[in-house]
Amino acid sequence: MTEEMRDRTFATFEGKHGAPSLEELCGGLLSEQQAVWPEFRRACESLRRVRTRDVACDGFSVRLVFNPGRAVNTTAAVSPEEIRERPCFLCTANLPLEQKCILYRDEFLILANPRPAIPFHLTIAHISHRPQAIVGHMEMFLRTTADLGPGFTILYNGPRCGASAPDHLHFQAVPSGQMPIENEIDGAKGSTPPVSLRARIAGTSVLRMAGLGREIILIEGDNASSVADAFDDYARGLADASIPPNPPGEEPMMNTAASFNGKTWRLLVFPRRAHRPAAFYRDDDGRVLVSPAIMEMAGVIVTPAERDFDRLDAAAIESLYREVSLTHG
């Protein structure tokens, strides 16, 4: 471990029996960061003042969140040129001076998200600078989900559909049950295997959920490597079936969310056709500052513009999902 890493490390988690749980360590990290990092403390305090509004759509609901503090995330510049020209904000050398981490299984750093979308929002960044990708990392994603326990849901944004650091592998974690889809998925009707599914992996179930306004694939199983195999198979089929064709070497656009109840992993996959709605790029009154990433796909629509918070209605939200989702469910 470098000296810089040693200085940054609040705690280490290696999964040893009898050691503090990862959830306890994360609680400790967030308390410490609020105490010593004024900018983070202010970001947490500002969360108490955000306005929210629930909107009932056809077959599902969303929670709109007006949060001016998230403007940086919503309007993040993510083109390859722009990414090359900025210092990576997830590399340890560029983290704010006050920022501490939990060194997680020698491979990831768990950090307080400096601009939380909801309380207890964590960033889980790889210790080294390497491209954002879920294909090939799903088993680690599921392992992290189990280590954090049933209290957290772990999130992933694809490099071309929501990740604000497409050049540095990272996940996020938020407290479970905060995103509407987590509670709606059990009541969803008419689920069938997705068309692109090529193999059945023993001990897993892969279903395309219907009636929720956007394409959602639900993968469940009691064994992390089987769930990861089922996901890899689905992702390969998705890459082959994509229209327009998937760029060679790029993973198909998708966001994922995983939870673990102590026995079974539940993985939600949101395949995408577009990163942002056309209205995002307008330069007139019709501009809508919503940049759909995993939280938006899961039903929490963060907007830094009060005008959008006030005017987005069920029809606009249904249309937004149709535009950015692969197909609509």
Classify residue 54 as exposed, middle or buried by CB count within 10 Å of its CB (0-12, 13-18, 19+): exposed
* 127 near Zn ion, judged by CB under 5 A: no
CB of 79 to Zn ion, least distance (A): 17
The Cα-based distances of 146 to 5, 107, 140, 209, 306 in angstroms read 25, 16, 10, 24, 37
Q: Closer CB to Zn ion, residue 90 or residue 288?
A: 90
Q: Which stretch binds Zn ion (CB under 5 A): 34-42, 49-57, 122-130, 291-299?
A: 122-130
Q: Which of 91, 135, 239, 305 binds Zn ion (CB under 5 A)?
A: 91
Q: Which of 59, 68, 107, 129 binds Zn ion (CB under 5 A)?
A: 129
Q: Which of 88, 133, 210, 314 binds Zn ion (CB under 5 A)?
A: 88
CB of 249 to Zn ion, least distance (A): 20
Q: Closer CB to Zn ion, residue 170 or residue 208?
A: 170
Cis peptide before 159 (omega within 30 of 0): no
CB of 93 to Zn ion, least distance (A): 9
For residues 145 and 257, give the distance between their C-alpha atoms in angstroms, rounded to a whole number: 10
CB of 125 to Zn ion, least distance (A): 8
Helical H segments across the chain, by residue range: 3-8, 22-36, 38-47, 71-74, 80-85, 138-148, 180-184, 224-241, 294-297, 306-311, 314-324
Position closest to Zn ion via CB: 88
Q: Closer CB to Zn ion, residue 5 or residue 315?
A: 5
Could you give the 3-state DSSP secondary structure of residue 113?
coil
Q: Which of 30, 64, 90, 269 binds Zn ion (CB under 5 A)?
A: 90
DSSP string, 214-248: S-EEEEEES-HHHHHHHHHHHHHHHHHH-SSPPPT
Q: With CB under 5 A, what is the number of residues at the site for Zn ion? A: 5
- End-to-end CA, the chain: 48
Q: Closer CB to Zn ion, residue 128 or residue 319?
A: 128
User: Which residues between 262 and 301 bind Zn ion (CB under 5 A)?
Assistant: none
For residues 245 and 149, give the distance between their C-alpha atoms in angstroms, rounded to a whole number: 38
* Under 8 Å between Cβ of 214 and 272: no
Instruction: State the binding string over 164-193 for Zn ion (x if CB under 5 A, else -).
Output: ----x-------------------------
For residues 305 and 310, give the distance between their C-alpha atoms in angstroms, rounded to a whole number: 9
Q: Which stretch binds Zn ion (CB under 5 A): 116-124, 161-169, 252-260, 265-273?
A: 161-169
* 163 near Zn ion, judged by CB under 5 A: no
* 44 near Zn ion, judged by CB under 5 A: no
CB of 111 to Zn ion, least distance (A): 12
Residues that bind Zn ion in the complex, under the rule CB under 5 A: 88, 90-91, 129, 168
